[in-house]
Amino acid sequence: MKLILKKDTEPLGRMGDLVDVADGYARNYLLPRGVGIVATTKNMKALEHEKQVIAEQIKKERFLAEGLARQIGALDISIPVQVGEEGKLFGSVSSKDIAEAIASHGMEVDKRHILLEKPIKELGIFQVPVKVYHDVTAQVKVSVVKAND
C-alpha cells in the first residue's frame, strides 16, 4: 500500500514522503495513529499545497529572524559586576545575565539560545553567539566591566 507520511517516522522517512508499506502495517498501525494517509491523487495535491504553505511560513520566519539577528549583532552590551582584588569577579556572568541585558534593549531572547560555553569569570570584551532561528546565529558584543561602588 502506498502512503504519504504526515509525520517524520524514523524507519520510514520524513513528512511528505511517499512510501510503500505492507497493507497490514498501514491499516493496523500507521493509519489509526495518523502517521500516514493513503496516497490518492486528491491527497497528493493537498500535500503539495500544504508543503507550499509551510515553505512560505518558514521563509517569512527566517526573514524576521535575520532582521532580529542584525539588531542583536549591532548591540554593545555592558554588564557591570562586583570585582575583588586582582580583578577577580564575585560570581560570574551567565547566559541569564546576558539575556536580561538584551531584554533591557527591547529584544526578547531565551537564555537557552545564548550559546555561552561556560560562564564569564573575568573582565573584558567577549563575542557571544546567540541562536535566533534554526540556522541563524548573531554575535553580540558583551563588555564585562567593574561596577561603580
Furthest-apart CA atoms within the chain: distance in Å: 75
pLDDT band at 93 (very low <50, low <70, confident <90, very high): very high
> pLDDT value at position 127?
95
37, 67, 97 — which closes off a domain? 67
106-117 pLDDT, tens digit each: 998 999 999 999
Q: What is the mean pLDDT of residues 42-64?
A: 88
> pLDDT value at position 44?
86
Tell me which residue range forms the domain holding 49. 2-67
115-141 pLDDT, tens digit each: 999 999 989 999 999 999 888 999 999
Q: Do 57 and 36 meet the contact criterion of CB atoms below 8 Å apart?
A: no
43, 67, 91 — which closes off a domain? 67
67, 92, 107 — which closes off a domain? 67
> pLDDT value at position 104?
93
If asked whether residues 9 and 43 sit together in one domain, one would say: yes
pLDDT band at 86 (very low <50, low <70, confident <90, very high): confident
The three cell numbers locating residue 89: 569577579
Q: Do 3 and 16 meet the contact criterion of CB atoms below 8 Å apart?
A: no
Mean pLDDT score of the chain, rounded to an integer? 89
If asked whether residues 41 and 109 sit together in one domain, one would say: no
Does 91 score more than 70 pLDDT?
A: yes
Compute CA distances 69 → 14, 72, 78, 102, 133, whole Å. Answer: 29, 5, 18, 12, 9
pLDDT band at 149 (very low <50, low <70, confident <90, very high): low
Q: How many domains does the chain have?
A: 2
Does 103 score more than 90 pLDDT?
A: yes
